[in-house]
Structure 1
Amino acid sequence: MYKQKIVGVFRAFIKICEEHDLQYFCHGGTAIGVVRHQGLIPWDDDIDVLMPRPDYEKFLSLFPQLEQKEYELIIPGRPPSYYLPFAKMCDKNTTLLEFKHVPCVLGAFVDIFPLDGASNEREKRAADWLLFRRIANKLMILPKSAKANFAWLFKRLSKFQLRTAINEISCAFGKKRKYKKVNEQLHYIMTRHEYSKAEYVGSYGSQFGIKAFWPKSWFDGVVMMSFEGIEVRLPVGYDQLLTQVYGDYMQLPPKNQRGSHHNVAYLNLEERKSVEEVYQELNKKKRLNSLL
């Protein structure tokens, strides 16, 4: 049922893009699913898309004006507990808490990554991505309470994660100001190479590092393919792109690697609950389990 929900969100997203002439491209495992399975990879549980920065900004601007009540757009800075540097379009009638220690309630979602301009030099692209990643890591730390920051400090130190331990301390105070500063720094890195003039583009928020930067010419055309019965968009250079990121992407991975890589601390596909209600249910379940 969860897969049906996220496919429903994807259908709604595509409808908005078509009605407003906005570009998007299937990304990551979703793109592999299109080419190899004509739908979701059987063991996958999310949908990822790329939007060129100009289209991404237009999408963010027009979404609040849409006459619909089924979906919401979560973006960096709104809500202040959101912990990722890209947008999610969510089903407002579902509840998802990914991490128990991060108090941010979402719904079944589609990840929307901006496709941004990048340096022509590979070394600079790699350095920009590394800087971006180090700053973005603070987004997972800032939503936690100061008390939780100090609790996690000792966990980090016990695992010799010194950089993250320092972040736990520095993010324990002045959270509102620091959250704003972090998002401003990330936005600057993503947008300092103007998309319209760039020869290379990439997804700074991607987990693939330097592999997630490509010649812009690979996005100069569109290939339409079927995904769960929907006609969706792939960039004309999808084969080169997927090969760069995954190698032989048509080869199925070993069985022990066929699983979800996403965290789910709480899921309700019937209704939206507040973060307070979610924690009440989780604590109640914990107490019940302790009695068994």
Structure 2
Amino acid sequence: MIELPEEFYREEVRSGHTVTASTKKIWAVELELLSEFDRVCRECGLPYYADQGTLLGTVRHGGFIPWDDDIDLIMFRKDYDRLIHECGDKFKDPFFLQTAYSEKDYFRGHAQLRKSDTCAAIPSEAYNSKINQGMFLDIFVMDNIPDNEDDLKKEIDELNAYHDVMTILTQRDIKGSALTKLRCKYGILKRRLKYGNVASVYRKTEEVVKAVPDTGLVDKLLFWHDVKSVKKIRSEWYDKTVWLDFENTKLPAPFMYDEVLKAQFGKDYMTPIKGTAFHPDLIIDTERSYKEVLGK
């Protein structure tokens, strides 16, 4: 357990937004997850960086965006692969590194570090999925991206085809025309019979992204499902690391974080645009395990 001062848990107004005491409890669990992730990465010598809303919150607010509720981190492919294949067993209970290789039926395009004695369940998965549904932080991976639109579109189309295969293999509640459509698309039924399980299909997606040569451009190809979402992030922006204040700790960021944030959010990223939490519909409990909450 990390130690947070009593005042951290109090309701307060940040940037004109009321951060409730219940949100503070969520943030506290996220900081626990971050502390455990940082411990393992230091032990294994793995660099990582704040990403997306967490990078924006770090730079603009010195912590969480007031209306956000999670932590996003990112790693280069070689470091990410070491994390999931060599260091996953270093996380101490109740923490669990969730990947397509560590848990059957999990196939998001990134890893998640879960805290198993809490709950953060997506309603559509809550009762028909057997995966760990503890509170989590996201661990994204940067892969090389093609430097022309045609090749990028071909790659994303192929990745989406494999994603549909994994959907069929895991979402057993899909019925009727929706299932038929998925099975027909890209010859999915044949692929399902060929690969058989989620991990083997997920491995094919990794082969696709790893086949792209170094173009100097990177992004989260296994997370995005359309060309327009892909941001052309220059890998050189991460050549050095700076440590920035984040709540009661510090987070590593690319030394050219200004360029990264402009690519992700636009040149006016320092102007807050009040929104809702990224996961507004989650079934969240900071004190009870997902098994207890969901009756598993």
Check whether TM > 0.5. yes
Q: Tell me what 2:196 maps to.
A: 177
Distance 1:142 1:97 in 2: 20
Displacement of 1:130 in angstroms is 4.2
Displacement of 1:65 in angstroms is 4.0
Q: Show CA shifts across 1:232-260 (max 9, x none).
A: 1111222112112211211222x4xx102
Q: Show CA shifts across 1:208-243 (max 9, x none).
A: 855333222111111221111211111122211211
Distance 1:270 1:82 in 2: 24
Are the aligned partners of 2:107 and 2:198 in contact in 1 as well (CA < 8 Å)? Answer: no
Please point out which of 111, 129, 144 is paired with 1:117.
Answer: 144
Q: Does 1:108 align with 2:145?
A: no
Q: Aligned partner of 2:219: which letter?
A: G
Are the aligned partners of 2:40 and 2:91 in contact in 1 as well (CA < 8 Å)? Answer: no
Q: Show CA shifts across 1:120-142 (max 9, x none).
A: 33442343234324532544453
Please point out which of 253, 265, 270 is paired with 1:250.
Answer: 270
Over the aligned positions, Cα root-mean-square deviation in angstroms equals 3.0
Q: What is the 5 A alignment of 1:1-292?
A: 1-66=25-90, 68-101=92-125, 102-103=128-129, 104-145=131-172, 148-150=173-175, 153-154=176-177, 156=178, 164=182, 166=184, 177-193=196-212, 197-207=214-224, 209=227, 210-247=229-266, 248-253=268-273, 255=274, 258-262=275-279, 264-274=281-291, 278-280=293-295
Q: Aligned partner of 1:249: which letter?
A: Y
Q: CA distance change for structure 1 residues 78 and 263 in 2, over 3 Å: closer, same or farther?
A: farther
Distance 1:107 1:67 in 2: 14
Q: CA distance change for structure 1 residues 95 and 141 in 2, over 3 Å: closer, same or farther?
A: farther
- Helix, strand or coil for the counterpart of 1:90? strand
Displacement of 1:79 in angstroms is 1.7
Are the aligned partners of 1:84 and 1:139 in contact in 2 as well (CA < 8 Å)? Answer: no
Q: Show CA shifts across 1:32-80 (max 9, x none).
A: 1011111111111121111111111121233344272231100024322
Distance 2:194 2:65 in 1: 38
Q: CA distance change for structure 1 residues 35 and 127 in 2, over 3 Å: closer, same or farther?
A: farther
Are the aligned partners of 2:110 and 2:223 in contact in 1 as well (CA < 8 Å)? Answer: no
Q: Aligned partner of 2:216: which letter?
A: E
Q: Aligned partner of 2:63: which letter?
A: G
Q: CA distance change for structure 1 residues 130 and 176 in 2, over 3 Å: closer, same or farther?
A: closer
Q: CA distance change for structure 1 residues 213 and 137 in 2, over 3 Å: closer, same or farther?
A: farther
Q: CA distance change for structure 1 residues 175 and 189 in 2, over 3 Å: closer, same or farther?
A: closer
Displacement of 1:9 in angstroms is 0.3
Are the aligned partners of 2:169 and 2:198 in contact in 1 as well (CA < 8 Å)? Answer: yes
Q: TM-score, normalised by structure 1?
A: 0.77
Q: CA distance change for structure 1 residues 16 and 124 in 2, over 3 Å: closer, same or farther?
A: same
Q: TM-score, normalised by structure 2?
A: 0.76
- Helix, strand or coil for the counterpart of 1:142? helix
Q: CA distance change for structure 1 residues 232 and 244 in 2, over 3 Å: closer, same or farther?
A: same
Q: CA distance change for structure 1 residues 9 and 249 in 2, over 3 Å: closer, same or farther?
A: same
Unpaired runs of 5+ residues, structure 1, are 282-292
Q: Show CA shifts across 1:249-279 (max 9, x none).
A: 11222x4xx10232645333223343xx655
- Helix, strand or coil for the counterpart of 1:61? helix
- Helix, strand or coil for the counterpart of 1:233? strand
